[in-house]
Amino acid sequence: MMENNVKDPKVATKASNNKEDRFQGHDYYNIDELLNDDHLLARDAVRSWVKQEVSPIIEDYSNRAVCPTHLFKGLADIGAFGPSLPAEYGCGGMDEIAYGIIMQELERGDSGIRSMASVQGSLVMYPIYKFGSEEQRRKYLPKLASGEFIGCFGLTEPDHGSDPGGMITNIKDDGDSYILNGAKMWITNSPVADIAVVWAKDEEGKIRGVIVEKGMEGFSAPEIHGKWSLRASITGELVFEDVRVPKANVLPNVKGLKGPLSCLSKARYGIAWGAIGAAMDCYDSALRYSQERIQFGKPIGQFQLTQKKLAEMITEITKAQLLAWRLGTLANDGKATPAQISMAKRNNVHMALEIAREARQIHGGMGITNEYPVMRHMMNLETVLTYEGTHDIHLLITGMDVTGLNAFK
C-alpha cells in the first residue's frame, strides 16, 4: 500500500495539528506479569483516551490556566470516576490496582486531569458510598459516576491546612436542618461543582460530613487565580454564610477526623500510582530526547552524566512501581494501612518531582518550553507534593508509626 501502514492508524486521532504523543510505558522489571487482564485493558484504554483527548490540548489549557471542563464527560464515559466502587451504583466494580493504574495513566497526561478524577471518585463518591445512607448513595452516586454531577471536597481552610482538626467551619442544629457557617480554601473543582462534601464541626465539636448543593442560599465558590501549578485544574474557595442544609444531607455513618482522613487515604493511594505516570512521561521524553539530540557529534545519551540521570530515573520509577503494586495487593485484601499509603504517596511524588527536574535538565533549553511536557509536570508536582498531606507531614506520619512518638503534639 502507498500509505505508511504503521503511521496510518496512529495519525487517525483527533486534533492532528498537534505534535504526536509518542509516549510508551516503561516496565523494567516485567511488572506487567503481575497484572491481570482487567489491569492491562484498563491501562490500554485510559492511555488511548489520554493520547486522543488530553495530549493534544493540555499544553494550551495549562498555558491559559483554564480547566478543560469538557473532559469531565469523557472521564465519566471511560469510567474514571469511582472505578473501584460497586457497579450497582453505576461505578466500575474493579479492584484497587485497576483504580491505581487508571490514575497513573491520567497523571501521565496531566496531574490536573488526574485531580479532576481523584476528587470526584475518592473524595466525593467514596465518602458518600462509605458513610452515606442508602438514599444518599442512590441519589448521588450514579449521577457522579456519569459526570452529570461534579463534586468537590472541602476540608482545608484558610487557617487550617496540615492541621484540619482545628477547623472552624461548623453546623448548628435548627430543627430539620443545620445552619452551616465557615469557609474552605484550595478546593479542587469547587467553582464548577454541583455538590460539595464539606467537613464541619457540630455543636459537640465532632467533625461531620455534609453534602452541600449548588444553589443553596448563602453558599458560593469563588475561583482562586494565579496558580503556577495544576493550571489545568480549577481550584476555588467554598464560602458558607448561614447556609441551611437539610439533615438528610449529613453523612450519617461517621463522626470525627477519621471521616475525611479515610477519604484522603483513598485519594493518596491513587496519587501514589498517579505520580508514577508523571515520572514515566518525563523519563520517556528525556530518554527519547537524549537519543535524538546531538552535541559534540554524538547523542547526548552517550555522555556518562546523561546516562547517570537516566539510569537513576528508571531505577526510581521501578522502585515506585513495585511499591505501588505491593500497596495495591494489600489494598485489594483490605490490609493497606494509612501509614503504608502515606509512605507510598510521599516516596512516589517526591521521586516524580526529582525525575521531572532531572528530565528538565536533559532537555536543555527546550525543557523549559511547552514543546515538551516536562516543565508542566514539574510545576504540577509541586502541588501534588503539598496536597493530600505535605511531604513533611507524611514524613512525620511514618516517623510516628515507627517510633510510636507523636510529633504533632
Ligand X SMILES: Cc1cc2nc3c(=O)[nH]c(=O)nc-3n(C[C@H](O)[C@H](O)[C@H](O)COP(=O)(O)OP(=O)(O)OC[C@H]3O[C@@H](n4cnc5c(N)ncnc54)[C@H](O)[C@@H]3O)c2cc1C
In the complex, which residues of this chain contact ligand X (CB under 6 A)?
A: 119, 152-156, 161-162, 186-188, 230, 235, 383, 386-388, 390, 392-393, 396, 408
Backbone angles phi, psi at 365, to 5 degrees: -60, -35
**Closer by beta carbon to another protein, 42 or else 375:** 42
Told to check if 322 binds another protein by CB under 8 A, we report: no
Asked if 342 contacts 251 with a C-beta cutoff of 8 angstroms, the reply is: no
Between 92 and 131, how does the x/- string for binding to another protein read (CB under 8 A)? xxx---x---x-----------------------------
Q: Report the amino acid identity of residue 241.
A: E
For the chain, the distance separating the N- and C-terminal CA atoms, rounded to the nearest angstrom, is: 72
Provide, rounded to whole angstroms, the least separation between the CB of residue 78 and another protein: 5
DSSP letter assigned to residue 162: S
**Closer by beta carbon to ligand X, 72 or else 153:** 153
37 binds, among another protein, ligand X, none (CB under 5 to 8 A by kind): another protein
**Closer by beta carbon to ligand X, 130 or else 288:** 130
Pick the piece of the chain touching another protein (CB under 8 A) from 89-97, 116-124, 322-330, 357-365: 89-97
**b/e burial code for range 87-124 (CB count within 10 A of at least 16 → b):** eebbbbebbbbbbbbbbbbbbbbbbbbbbbbbbbbbbb
Q: Give the C-alpha separation, 93 to 82, whole Å.
A: 8
Told to check if 217 binds another protein by CB under 8 A, we report: no
How is 52-93 classified by DSSP, letter by letter?
IIIHHHHHHHHHHT---TTHHHHHHHHT-SSTTS-GGGTS--
Kindly give, in sequence order, each residue whose CB lies less than 8 Å from that of residue 407, ignoring residues fewer than 6 positions away: 396, 399, 400
In this structure, what C-alpha cell is assigned to residue 168? 472552624
Kindly give, in sequence order, each residue whose CB lies less than 8 Å from that of residue 46, ignoring residues fewer than 6 positions away: 78, 80, 101, 102, 105, 106
10 binds, among ligand X, another protein, none (CB under 5 to 8 A by kind): another protein
Does the active-site annotation cover 107?
A: no
369 binds, among ligand X, another protein, none (CB under 5 to 8 A by kind): none
From 29, 31, 34, 38, residue interacting with another protein (rule: CB under 8 A) = 38
Q: What is the dihedral of CA 222, 227, 233, 236, to 10 degrees?
A: -20
Told to check if 77 binds another protein by CB under 8 A, we report: yes
Provide, rounded to whole angstroms, the least separation between the CB of residue 94 and ligand X: 23
Spot the catalytic one: 53, 105, 237, 388.
388
Q: Give the C-alpha separation, 201 to 178, whole Å.
A: 11
94 binds, among another protein, ligand X, none (CB under 5 to 8 A by kind): another protein
Pick the piece of the chain touching another protein (CB under 8 A) from 1-9, 123-131, 256-264, 299-307: 1-9
From 15, 19, 20, 41, residue interacting with another protein (rule: CB under 8 A) = 41
Asked if 49 contacts 172 with a C-beta cutoff of 8 angstroms, the reply is: no
Q: Give the C-alpha separation, 109 to 21, whole Å.
A: 10
From 16, 19, 20, 48, residue interacting with another protein (rule: CB under 8 A) = 48
From 44, 148, 223, 292, residue interacting with another protein (rule: CB under 8 A) = 44
Active site positions, annotated = 388
